[in-house]
Structure 1
Amino acid sequence: MTEIVRLHPVPSHRSPDPEPLWREVLGRRLRARRVRRGETLADTAERAGISPQYLSEIERGLKDPSSEVLAAVAGALQARLLDLTTQVAIDLRRSDLADSPEVSGRTVLMIAA
């Protein structure tokens, strides 16, 4: 039998915190790496072959870059694409684990509240 478990059960008196989007977590990772390196948007964007405005939108989680653009930005920051995407996935998993129920030995269908 399948059990339905609501993700993010929330009392009716407050609105739920939205789950972070992949592009938002990616953007935070890219910005943190760029800032740690002491670079400006223009420096990194020029090496990646994109505009500073577009890089800013990626960092703010407003744009979903193509795999080619993401590889170019990662390369401009001397990061491996695999390492960057793995870290984003880990960050998302940590966020998910903080909110998910304990599940063991049973089938669970999870739906958003």
Structure 2
Amino acid sequence: MTFRVTNQARIVPLHPFPPGPAPAREPLWRDLVGDVLRRERLSQERTLKDVADAARISMAYLSEVERGRKEASSEVLAAAARALGLSLADVLALAQGELIRLSGARSRAIGQPNRPAGSMGTVRLAA
């Protein structure tokens, strides 16, 4: 008996996507919060070391949080916010605004109607 070996495989998606453009990736909360922290730090012309020292967290960890590599606890986020002269609520509100902006842009890109921000409901976060 002879077997023929090929390097081809048939791919069967478990959950096929509907026809049309591929769905955009939802923004991750850790990316949004990290972007807010970095943007605020840079707007104050402060270094990672300066903010990390003021927050009493390691510079490497703050860098990873800013880059969205680490999911920081509410305590770490609050410490970083205080070091920047902000409250935790300020950081979360800024991240929420960015999420709404990105979600609106994503909805327009995939052809969903552009709803006003208020129609999406209120985002509530437990910190």
Task: Give the structure-1-normalised TM-score.
Answer: 0.74
Cα deviation per residue 1:21-49 (whole Å; 9 max; x = unaligned)? 11101111101111111111110000101
- Counterparts of 1:27-106 in structure 2, within 5 Å, are 27-100=34-107, 101-102=112-113
> SS of the residue aligned with 1:54?
helix
Counterparts of 2:99 and 2:19, CA distance in 1 = 20
Structure 1: gaps of 5 or more residues: 1-8, 105-113
Answer whether contact 2:34 2:68 (CA < 8 A) is retained. yes
Answer whether contact 2:33 2:66 (CA < 8 A) is retained. yes
Counterparts of 1:10 and 1:21, CA distance in 2 = 25
Counterparts of 2:106 and 2:37, CA distance in 1 = 25
Counterparts of 2:47 and 2:19, CA distance in 1 = 40
Over 6 Å off, 4+ runs: none
Deviation at 1:99?
Answer: 2.4
Deviation at 1:11?
Answer: 3.5
Cα distance, 1:10–1:45 mapped onto 2, change above 3 Å: farther
Deviation at 1:84?
Answer: 1.1
Equivalent AA in structure 1 for residue 53 of structure 2: E
Which protein is richer in strand relative to its size?
Answer: 1
Deviation at 1:102?
Answer: 2.5
Flag the structure with larger Rg. Answer: 2
Equivalent AA in structure 1 for residue 20 of structure 2: P
Cα distance, 1:39–1:93 mapped onto 2, change above 3 Å: same
Root-mean-square deviation (Å): 2.1
Task: Give the structure-2-normalised TM-score.
Answer: 0.67
State the identity as a percent: 45
Cα distance, 1:80–1:10 mapped onto 2, change above 3 Å: farther
Q: How many residue pairs were aligned?
A: 94
